[in-house]
Structure 1
């Protein structure tokens, strides 16, 4: 992939995931291995900085960077729902298959279902991370 194509990939992924201008995004699981280009693409698209785990306001969406050894994904998803606005969504970013910390899609699906959500697609977010969007079922009222 060319350098310009690599630079465009995170911006495209951020848009495909549904991030839009003005949204407040809370971020969980930040560490040295996250993809800064994707983070910056989300901030550029939303025109706001990502809020950290201690943020106490209402978030329009949540980004969770999750690795296989991070603990219980269900707990992380439930925690992410705490500040999530009605009609908000969660994006779970996991290392791609074959990379250290990879999480099986079935584990993400199980966590979503247990938390009362469902997966609405997976996006090749960037070089090392895949993104799965979690949303409330259309018929559910929160």
Structure 2
């Protein structure tokens, strides 16, 4: 299944909380869309977007708002962040409202939520542009 998450050709996309349960077809689609391999959390340069795979069990270890702040630290102005969550009724599902609340705390805006594949849903977040002085 090919999905478009709105990343531009040539975009560098950083990925957070990758585990064995991620949907490989979503990852493949992003790499096909951008023409670039996804980079991991240790990537130290500016990125054009980020994907956060987030499950209810992850919330036991860390706060999603903190993860989103980390995701924004390398994000170029205008970059997208997608939080991918297990769909309702699936193990470790997360409410979209919980993602939206964490986004607000981190200074982001939720713009879209959509089904992505059989087991995952996505919430698209955008950052406010950084002020220029």
TM-score normalised by length of structure 1 = 0.86
Pairwise CA distance, 1:18: 0.9
Are the aligned partners of 2:52 and 2:82 in contact in 1 as well (CA < 8 Å)? yes
Work out whether 1:63 is the aligned partner of 2:51.
yes
Structure whose residues are more often strand by fraction: 2
Unaligned runs of 5+ in 1: 1-6
Are the aligned partners of 2:7 and 2:80 in contact in 1 as well (CA < 8 Å)? no
Task: Give the paired residue count.
Answer: 128
Give runs of ≥4 in structure 1 deviating > 3 Å. none
For 1:71-111, what per-residue CA distance to the aligned partner results, in whole angstroms no more than 9, with x for missing partners? 21111111101101011110000000000111111110111
Unaligned runs of 5+ in 2: none
TM-score normalised by length of structure 2 = 0.92
Pairwise CA distance, 1:126: 1.1
Pick aligned residue for 2:35 from 47, 67, 71: 47
The RMSD of aligned alpha carbons is 1.1
Aligned to 1:26: 14
